[in-house]
Amino acid sequence: MTAALASAGCRVVEMHARSSSLDERRVEDTFVVQSVGRQLDDDALEEVSARVLAATKDPLQARSLKAELARLQEEVAELRRRNGVLERAMARAAIKTFPSGQG
């Protein structure tokens, strides 16, 4: 949910939770959200609310996105390590030339 808000340029300012007045087994969450730097127009507000609703209905998707991000970050780190190994091997194997009369 916070990722959906952040991608829309918003942030959570306050959060409240309380037992529902209709059913003690339910909890009502209230979030005070603020746009960073500008007011959202009505169309943008509709889009942000749809993103937040989708994120709360499918938290597994958010979790799978985080897992995929972590996997990709590990892959990038491994590729950088391999790139460094290859660059060092190329530097060691490079043929060095000297101007005539030297070497």
Q: What is the pLDDT of residues 66-92, one digit of tens each?
A: 788 888 999 999 999 999 888 888 888
Instruction: Output the CA–CA distances (angstroms, integers) from residue 77 to 51, 62, 63, 66, 91, in the order listed.
Output: 31, 23, 21, 17, 21
Give 37-46's long-range contacts (Cβ < 8 A, gap of 24+): 37/9, 38/9, 40/8, 40/10, 44/8
Q: Is the whole-model pTM more than 0.85?
A: no
- Cα torsion for 69, 73, 75, 81, to the nearest 10°? 180
Please name the residue that has the structure tokens 């959060």.
15
